[in-house]
Amino acid sequence: MRKRKGLWGIGLSALLLLASFPAARGQEVTTFVLDNGMQFILQENHSNPMIASVVAVKAGSRHETETNNGVSHLLEHLLFSGTRSRSRQEIAGEIKRKSGYLNAFTRKDATAYILLIPKEFVEEGLEIQADMLFNATIPEEELAKERKVVIEEINKDLDTPRYQVELAFDQQVYAQTPYARPILGSKKIVADLPRSQILGYYHRHYVPNNMVALITGDFDTQEMIQRLKRRFEIFPPRPLPSEPPPSPPAWARPPSPTAPTERVVYQPGPVQTVQIQLAFPAP
């Protein structure tokens, strides 16, 4: 186990859990790194007998290409569909019987997996979470189901004025950068992306040295460190894919002599309300 201070993506997980566990504010935070490179942030909170674990994987739409845009979000769905030792139904059933909760979300910079469970079942809960993260099998029949689910999500978003505004905004502000891509991807890519490419993306990115976990709740820190070592240190690290090159948003690039100093995007549509989204560059 290696000690280290610099933990990427702390804000993504910390904001989520600190909002859920307000009594934890001011409590001591412990950070550590396992020998396989997986990073952890621990914060005790004894206000109720629950423990929350959020594992963020550095695999969001920013890490995709034009040809696999949407794979991060599709994969988020698929991690609930079964492992080498558990079916989808067994994952859901075991967590439900222990009065636990599983969920996930995808963002541009990461995908996060959430576990909330009573403290007496934390060992079993962490084992299930680790199993999902590292032993997913992505069965063909489950992939076919999730393609339909995600395409329906895309259809709903496309019918939402707010989403259309945000999409147009991102494509203008972050033009020619990975941040311009929609997190859900396109219906065509989601429908046609081969299983082999999804598995390849999974095996490249879902490795312990590409993850950071935030654990908060009713536990003893030293005991929790030993639990986490048992559950997560067994998974070996692997070389990571190269990071997308940094590319500033459109407004941060030197404008051409004829470029306007402000950009305005109009997104007309059959709606009865007007939505305005403003943004300004800042240091």
Cβ–Cβ < 8 Å for 141, 88: no
Which of 44, 64, 76, 146 is catalytic? The answer is 76
| 3-state SS class at 87 | strand
Burial of 199 (0-12, 13-18, 19+ CB in 10 A): middle
Task: Give the pair of three-digit tokens for residue 132.
Answer: 């999902």
Measured between alpha carbons, how far is 179 from 100 in angstroms, rounded to an integer?
34
Strand-pair category, 29-33 with 39-44: antiparallel
Cβ–Cβ < 8 Å for 210, 109: no
| Known active-site residue 153 | no
Per the DSSP assignment, residues forming a β-bridge with 214 are: 41, 54
Catalytic residues: 76
